[in-house]
Structure 1
Amino acid sequence: MKRILVPTDFSEQAQYAFEVAVTIAKRTGAAIKLLHVVEMPYSPSFSATGDTIYNDNMEQVYMMRLLETTKGNMARLMNKVNHAGVDVVQDVDVDSIVGKIKRVVAEDNVDLIVMGSKGSSGMDEFLIGSNTEKVVRTARCPVLTIKQHQPDFEIKEIVLASDFRREISKAMDAFKFFQQLFGARLHLVYINTPGAFESSTNLRSKLAHTAEKYGLHNYTINVYNDTIEEDGILHFADDINADMIMMATHGRTGLSHLLSGSIAEDLVNHTSRPVLTYQI
């Protein structure tokens, strides 16, 4: 792992994400890019590249003050988090948040995004979701979502939930990396629901085959019964007091996503535990 991207809106959750990214960077030697994106409508008189082509003095004053405030917020965030020994660069841009993140991932060959999230629920979630959810759905690299303060970020027990039907080899490489990075125990779990019930014997055999196929070590095999997959994953994680949940996501968008949703994105919104997602 060489490059970690940390988008920030200067919230408490974003600071928690920066702290976690620093911990991972110290373990891996990775560099961090701390990114803040100002979302605002483009106009013919504004250039996001920094070239001033202003036609309106009020717009120029507003943007100058906004950039000054942003630089001050960046400086305070850097001072709050002990990042000694870690290469941290700052980037501020005017763009769409998700669009900018996707470009940085591609241009910088980012290996991991670490994002803070407050989550979303109810009508807000149904209508727009969160920026974190959108990044989880579209990012071409693993996304680690942080909601709570993680002063030590010691990962010992990891839940890996899947239907183990689709090809997840690319995601599995990322999951194995995190397991090995922290020396954690991996708990493979299949959530058995009334609508898609299978015998425990068949499911355990399927999970054992997955573990053998990907050369897993230090793992357990689990079949957990619940009404829906998301609840089952959350309840299982509670039962074993998991430090992290890992899942692959299908990355659907538009009408397909609206109709089918994604368990991984729901988990990002509804659990307080760190969640590592990978789009397949």
Structure 2
Amino acid sequence: MRRILVPTDFSEQAQYAFEVAINIARRTGAAIKLLHVVEMPRSASFSATGDVVYHDNMEQLYIMRLMEATKTNMSKLIAKVSHTGVEVVQEVDVDSIVNKIKRVIAADNVDLIVMGSKGSSGMDEFLIGSNTEKVVRTATCPVLTIKTSNPEFDVKEIVLASNFRREVGKAMDAFKYFQKLFDARLHLVYINTPGAFESSSNLRSKLAHAADKYDLHNYTINVYNDTIEEDGILHFAEDINADMIMMATHGRTGLSHLLSGSIAEDLVNHTSRPVLTYQL
């Protein structure tokens, strides 16, 4: 791992994410980019060269002052969080958050995003979701979501929840990397629900086959019964006092996302535990 991206809005959760990123960077030798995006006003547009063009002088002045204040806040955040021995660079830009993050991932070859989240629920979640959820859905690298203070980030028990079908193999290298990074125990879990019920013996055989196929070590096999998959993952993680949950997501957008949803994105919104997601 060489590059970690930490988007920040200067909230407490964003600071928690920065602290976790520092911990991971010290373990891996990675450099961190701390990014703040000022959302582009609706009345602004792009020129042929890609520069932001404003249609109101007062608006341009407001954005310039906001950028100056943002750079000051960025400097305060970097000074507040101890990062001795870790290279930290900062960037402030005017753009949409998701689009900017996607461009930084491509330009900087980002290996991991560590992002704070307040979560969302109810009508707000249904209509727009959180920025973190949108990043989870669209990022082409793993995304680690942080909600609570955990500067030591000592991960010993990891839940890997999946149906363990063929496509999950695309994410296994990333999941194994994090398990090895923290020398953690991996708890493979299949949530058995009434709507798609299978015998425990069949499911345990399926999980054992997956463990052999992906050459996993230091793991347990678990079949957990619950009414829906999301609740099952949350309850299982609580039962074993997990330090992190790992899941793959299909990253659906638009109408298909609205209709089918995503368990991984729901977990990001509803659990206080760190969640590592990987888009298949």
TM bucket (normalised to shorter chain) is: over 0.9
The 5 Å alignment of 1:32-51 reads 32-41=32-41, 43=43
Alpha-carbon distance in structure 1 between the residues aligned to 2:125 and 2:80: 31
- % identical equivalent positions: 84
Query: Structure 1: where are the runs of 5+ without partners?
Result: none
The 5 Å alignment of 1:171-190 reads 171-190=171-190
Q: Say whether the 8 Å CA contact 2:247–2:264 is kept in structure 1.
A: yes
Note the C-alpha offset of 1:64: 2.3
* AA matched with 2:160: L
Q: Say whether the 8 Å CA contact 1:45–1:56 is kept in structure 2.
A: no
Q: TM-score normalised to the size of structure 1?
A: 0.96
Please name the residue that 2:219 is paired with.
219
- The number of equivalent residue pairs is 279
Note the C-alpha offset of 1:72: 1.0
CA deviation string 1:212-247 (max 9, x = no partner):
001000000000000000000000000000000000
Please name the residue that 1:161 is paired with.
161
**Distance change >3 Å, CA 55–CA 165, structure 1 → 2:** closer
The 5 Å alignment of 1:3-22 reads 3-22=3-22
Please name the residue that 1:75 is paired with.
75
Alpha-carbon distance in structure 1 between the residues aligned to 2:128 and 2:89: 31
Q: Say whether the 8 Å CA contact 2:13–2:117 is kept in structure 1.
A: yes
Alpha-carbon distance in structure 2 between the residues aligned to 1:36 and 1:123: 27
Deviates more, 1:78-87 or 1:111-120: 78-87
Is 1:26 aligned with 2:26?
yes
Note the C-alpha offset of 1:152: 1.1
Please name the residue that 2:272 is paired with.
272
Q: Say whether the 8 Å CA contact 2:44–2:52 is kept in structure 1.
A: no
Please name the residue that 2:251 is paired with.
251
Secondary structure of the corresponding residue to residue 27 of structure 1:
helix
* AA matched with 2:182: F
Instruction: Show structure 1 runs of 4+ deviating over 3 A.
Output: 42-47, 49-57
Note the C-alpha offset of 1:62: 1.2
Please name the residue that 1:120 is paired with.
120
Alpha-carbon distance in structure 2 between the residues aligned to 1:46 and 1:110: 25
| CA RMSD across the alignment | 1.7
Please name the residue that 2:64 is paired with.
64
Q: TM-score normalised to the size of structure 2?
A: 0.96
* AA matched with 1:17: A
Secondary structure of the corresponding residue to residue 167 of structure 1:
helix
